[in-house]
Structure 1
Amino acid sequence: MKGPTITVITGKSGSGKSTAMAAFEDSGYYCVDNMPVALLPAFLKLPIDYGGTFAGLALGMDLREKEFIHQYESVLKQLTRKGFRFRIIFIDADTKSLLRRYSQTRRKHPLAIDKSISDAIDEEAGLLTELKHSADTVIDTSDLNVHELKAIIRQIADSVGDASSLRVHVLSFGFKFGLPVHADLVMDVRFLKNPYFVESLRALSGKTEKIRTFVLNNDQTCLFLHKYFDLLDTLIPQYENEGKAYLTIAIGCTGGRHRSVVIAREMCDHLTASGYKAVLTHRDIDKSRE
């Protein structure tokens, strides 16, 4: 399989790697989870048409295999010299989120044989530090739900092996719930007139026509959109020239329910009309009344 990029999905236990693998499979990839890294050279000799019958090859590789952390670098370098191309996606999450997930699922952490879950998480983070720094893409799932993670992965899945077409993920969010750490560009639209302070509009979301009209029928909004679209039309081709295949643009307001939802929708429509493959998600629309 010399040519198509091989995707390696790795990261912390409990961070969402299984969800990422499922999203790749849904996108038509041939997926193998918990692949022993020492067997990878032999596996790639098998007569499977990964780039023809399937959209690509995705491998789940992590600390469930004891030798992974010690062997992955040398094995991937060896295969790269033979003409294979790899893309490493590191799925991450903060300690608080991982502890909550393990408490909810009661699954065993692969390193928690003779230690607490908390100590196992800390140990794993240390072991994976170098791998995380060398990854092509790091996705922090601490504030993502399953659907949001799948949307991100589907965009990446479509972009692997196709450097000629940039995929853009437009994300609305609320600053009160924290910054989306995986975003490449972040725009704060809290300067726009806020429908929250209009009692008849407060309970509505940015998906409704009343909120869209309130936000968009404003000279300040029109000027902002004109100038920001101008900036994006200049920036995005530069990202493409640098070979970037996936870009996340985050639009934030206070609670992620009104202004950011409207502006993100306008941005996604503009990018689609400009010929880019854009997907839209609203991270916090149901979390707050702003």
Structure 2
Amino acid sequence: MTPPSPSGRRPVILITGMSGAGLSTALKVLEDLGYEAVDNLPLALLAALVDQGDLLARPLAVGVDSRTRNFTAEALLARHDELSARTELDVRLVLMDCSDEVLQRRFTETRRRHPLATDRPVADGIARERTLLAPVKERADVVLDTSLLSIPEFRQIVTGMFRLGGGPSLHVFVTSFSFRQGLPREADLVFDVRFLNNPHYDPELRPLTGLDPPVAERVSTDPDFPGFFQRLTELLLPLLPRYNQEGKSYLTVAIGCTGGRHRSVFVAAKLAEWLAAQGYPVGLSHRDLDRSRPPTAP
């Protein structure tokens, strides 16, 4: 039998969101984690599914979205409130979100029709669905924006948020990023390292990244780096146990610089190494490393 949530109650996750934002992928990840995953369930059957005998002790993840028959935000929130009132259940409402531009590109690339615009432009379906889900977004326990996430990053985040069983309950995900590309929408804490000396202006270092020893040496020998990193870890050291005490299962720390290639990459990797040494499960990603790659000569 799959272990229960840390609260001792049976986990029930209700997942909804924008079509194309990754709901099906999230359900597959949750299934791999040990949840009974059910997609596109009519809301009228939700209570019966929760009470079904052979699933009574199993964690449950249910996908409910605009494809579902007679779907409305009000009906979903009503079912959510009914289940949340049951003391034996640990119910969380998760909404998968994504920017309109990325959603439209995904539908175009896969040549799929939008479920709310089968005979109209995809943009019309996206706009209609966003309006439909607005009340749910306001009430959701978790809003996960997948606009800039790779599949491995997405899996790491879902795993960190909803994994089952024992072990440390707080999972930390560290990502580097470029301020030019915008803030990571999933970030809980953001640190700006643009004050450090920039290897970009050294022609020999420019083609390299923060994962290469010459760049790491350049950044780490900045006179202000040792003090900054010490204060950063001193800040996080007491915060992490408090997040844990408050029941937060997943924390995303974002480290940004101008191009997302040198300083932020080095600092993020060093911070992930420090966090692992403190005993926390850590995920590491460099969101804009490939985007910032300088053009090669013809």
* TM-score > 0.5 by shorter chain: yes
Match of 1:44 in 2: 50
Q: 2 CA distance for matches of 1:214 and 1:26?
A: 42
Deviations 1:163-182 (A, max 9, x none): 97211111111111111111
Match of 2:122 in 1: 117
Match of 1:66 in 2: 69
Match of 2:218 in 1: 214
Q: 1 CA distance for matches of 2:40 and 2:106?
A: 20
Quick one: which of 78, 84, 89 aligns to 2:82? 78
Determine if the alignment matches structure 1 residue 4 to structure 2 residue 41: no
What 5-or-longer segments of structure 1 have no aligned partner?
A: none
Match of 2:34 in 1: 28
- Compute the displacement of 1:27 (Å): 2.5
Quick one: which of 19, 25, 28 aligns to 2:25? 19
- In structure 2, the residue corresponding to 1:238 is in which secondary structure? helix
> 2:199 touches 2:215 (CA, 8 Å); kept in 1?
yes
Q: Cα gap change, 1:51/1:167 in structure 2, threshold over 3 Å: closer, same or farther?
A: farther
- In structure 2, the residue corresponding to 1:128 is in which secondary structure? helix
CA RMSD of aligned residues (A): 2.1
> 2:168 touches 2:280 (CA, 8 Å); kept in 1?
no
> 2:168 touches 2:281 (CA, 8 Å); kept in 1?
no
> 2:257 touches 2:264 (CA, 8 Å); kept in 1?
yes
> 1:6 touches 1:58 (CA, 8 Å); kept in 2?
yes
TM-score where L is the length of structure 1 = 0.91
AA of the residue aligned to 2:95: F
Q: 2 CA distance for matches of 1:262 and 1:146?
A: 23
> 1:111 touches 1:124 (CA, 8 Å); kept in 2?
yes
Match of 2:101 in 1: 96
Q: 2 CA distance for matches of 1:168 and 1:233?
A: 13
Quick one: which of 190, 193, 215 aligns to 1:189? 193
AA of the residue aligned to 2:105: R
Quick one: which of 261, 264, 267 aligns to 1:257? 261
Q: How many residues align?
A: 286
Match of 2:142 in 1: 137
Deviations 1:176-218 (A, max 9, x none): 1111111111111111111111212111122222222221233
Deviations 1:117-166 (A, max 9, x none): 111111110110110111111111112222221221121122x6779721
AA of the residue aligned to 1:22: K
Determine if the alignment matches structure 1 residue 285 to structure 2 residue 281: no
Quick one: which of 168, 176, 200 aligns to 2:172? 168
Deviations 1:202-257 (A, max 9, x none): 11122222222221233311110001111111322332232222111100111111
Match of 1:229 in 2: 233
AA of the residue aligned to 2:118: I
Q: 1 CA distance for matches of 2:218 and 2:55?
A: 53
- Compute the displacement of 1:93 (Å): 0.8
Q: 2 CA distance for matches of 1:33 and 1:22?
A: 10
Q: 1 CA distance for matches of 2:229 and 2:184?
A: 21
Q: 2 CA distance for matches of 1:164 and 1:4?
A: 19
Q: 2 CA distance for matches of 1:45 and 1:238?
A: 35
> 1:51 touches 1:57 (CA, 8 Å); kept in 2?
no
AA of the residue aligned to 2:31: E
Q: 1 CA distance for matches of 2:161 and 2:107?
A: 27
Q: Cα gap change, 1:80/1:108 in structure 2, threshold over 3 Å: closer, same or farther?
A: same
Instruction: Using the aligned pairs only, state the percent identity.
Output: 42
Match of 1:127 in 2: 132
TM-score where L is the length of structure 2 = 0.89
Match of 1:154 in 2: 159
Match of 1:57 in 2: 60
Determine if the alignment matches structure 1 residue 244 to structure 2 residue 248: yes
